[in-house]
Amino acid sequence: AYHVLNVDNHAGAVAMVITGLPARGRRTWVSDVDFHVIGATSLRVTDLPADIDLYADDVDRFWAKLRNGDDFAHWSVWYGCVLFDSGVIREAATYVAEQDAWPDLDRKLRQARNALDFAEQIAESGDYGAALEQTRGALSLVARWVLLSGEVFPLARDELAGQLEQLGQARLAIDLRRSIRE
**Which residues, 6+ apart, have CB-to-CB distance to 146 below 8 Å?**
164, 167, 169, 172
Identify the bridge partners of residue 15 per DSSP, sorted by sequence position: 38, 85
Instruction: Give the model confidence (pLDDT) of 9-23 as tens digits.
Output: 446 789 999 887 766
Residue pair 3/47 in contact (Cβ under 8 Å)? The answer is: yes
Q: What is the mean predicted confidence (pLDDT) over 70-79?
A: 93
Instruction: Give the model confidence (pLDDT) of 103-112 as tens digits.
Output: 999 999 999 9
Residue pair 108/71 in contact (Cβ under 8 Å)? The answer is: yes
Q: What are the residue ranges of helices labelled H in 54-127?
A: 59-67, 71-79, 88-99, 105-125
- Distances in Å between the Cα of 142 and the Cα atoms of 99, 125, 157, 176 are 26, 22, 11, 10
Q: What is the mean predicted confidence (pLDDT) over 144-173?
A: 95
Of 144, 145, 150, 139, nearest to 172 by C-alpha is 139
pTM for this predicted structure: 0.82
Residue 104 DSSP code: -
Chain centroid to CA 134: 15
Strands (E), the chain: 15-19, 33-38, 52-57, 81-85
Give residue 157's pLDDT.
85
Q: How far apart are CA 144 and CA 116, in angstroms?
A: 13
Instruction: Give the model confidence (pLDDT) of 83-118 as tens digits.
Output: 999 999 999 999 999 999 999 999 999 999 999 999
